[in-house]
Structure 1
Amino acid sequence: MNSSDEELMRRIHRDLIDSYDEELEMELEDRTVAELTGEVPPGQDVHHKEARRQYFRELFRLQAELVKLQDWVVGTGHKVVILFEGRDAAGKGGVIKRITQRLNPRVCRVAALPAPNDRERTQWYFQRYVSHLPAAGEMVLFDRSWYNRAGVERVMGFCTDEQYEEFFRTVPEFEKMLVRSGIQLIKYWFSISDDEQHLRFLGRIHDPLKQWKLSPMDLESRRRWEEYTKAKEIMLERTHIAEAPWWVVQAVDKKKARLNCIHHLLQQMPYQDTEHPSIVLPERERHEDYVRRPVPPEIVVPEVY
């Protein structure tokens, strides 16, 4: 290997390390209140660093398996819908980020629908979700789903008793219809404790990078913890069906919840390694009459860094 090849390999290695550094930076959002206030207990640093190393090793391994799963989904034309439900600050968004992090967004996409507008409120309740369902070779992750009606809409009074009961009459048939059509439906509920939600809300209040996550609805949900608990228990009891059962993720520990959820998700499909043809980078064509034009300096972004 000559010097130019060695330098190329070093450059590729540096780029790889940089990409991993970006993943580490993402973990800054997991800062606890104690870390923000400087109240990290003495002697915790060594244990914490080793735990992080183990977490990342396993996360990268599982993400590599997710890439294999993606290739299998595309190759077989499989269709997958995954619902992520749970209380505010339960960690749904965090696990969705780690699942999609290394996947093709054209294959694995996220549906996070806002509150229905005036027109959508007059539609069949499930209508606005149907347009986001997958075609062959696609996975769709719903960051909250049609189960809003069984949770926030019920607790906050955004639906009538009649609409609430009609939802429970309809949703099992709706989901059975999806499964009969060839869509695999997987439903996760992220479970956290009262104390843990309280801690995470404090973290959002004291962290300027997270304050945008706290809406008036989130704060009200904190006050109505018991009402949400009752609504969740009814939802799980009335919508746990053989064709699409609920799976409860213990989510008090965010990192363990992510790993456990991804590990479980991988077990739900009989994916296998997909053979790919070897890739050969073609030689770039060069023409004697080609001259690259200089970029006008006035449109160049200043190099502040």
Structure 2
Amino acid sequence: MLDSRLNQELNSNQWENYWPERSNMIYYQYINLIVKALARDCNSLLDVGSNKANYIEEFDWIEDRTTIDIDAPYFSKNVKGIKQDFIDFTINDKFDFVTCLQVLEHVPNPDKFAQKLFEMSDRVLISVPYMWPENSTEGHIQDPVDYDKLKKWTRREPLYSIVVEEPLDDTQKSKRLICYYTQESTKISLKQARKHIRSMDNNQVINTPEGKLLNNIIEGQSNLSRFMILDRKIRAIDADNQKLKNKIQVYSSKIAKINKRMKKHNNELQKYKRRIEGIRKSKTWSYAQKIRRILNK
């Protein structure tokens, strides 16, 4: 009984400490601004895997806010929390917007999980740890995750993506990849996004340090975004080079086989030449030559 209470207390402290330790991260400021810019017209939002993090409270213009988590869903008087396995979760009507932040790296079947997200809404915001070393973080069974691995899970290209790096963090776990998916074909309008932000924050947010990040967030012009694009191109070139190397190996193998056959044929040719030479030097050949001369006369 005592052990059970102790475990409950430890778990409670774990969840209580989770959000305070992360709430000041630059990453969450990006998430906040992206949702404000892109979910301005939304009336319902589902956050998958909230883990008692209360960032959903920031989206107070959205009337219907719901979180779902298998262990510790966030809930309040403004937010409905559902403790359930997301894979078993069903709905009658889609949500206007879905967020799934730092979750896919934890689940054993991220492909199935990602497809479930797109069943919940036509607009989905996903983030994952970007290139964190394998086995470096407890519970991260899918690390390392990069753009291509996330694309494999989601089976689609995001309309917008960016890698966010925490400042003053010299570890290998300072970067997070954020991707926004939608069925809408129109590009993100920076001008319209700014209007959305201003309308929510009384024209103040654009003049704040956080607001000045908006250009980088919406347009994807940050150095990290360019780095990610270049990194993908380099890996694509490396993949092409590997294909060429494989072809070269195949052709080299074929050439080696041909050379081996040619060597065998040359050896046989030399063997036959030696036989002919031996015959020509034999007494039989000498007598045959004399007979041929007589016959030719």
Bigger radius of gyration: 2
Both structures adopt the same fold (TM-score exceeding 0.5): no
- How high is the TM-score relative to the length of structure 1? 0.31
Higher relative contact order (CA 8 A, sep 6+): 1
- How high is the TM-score relative to the length of structure 2? 0.31
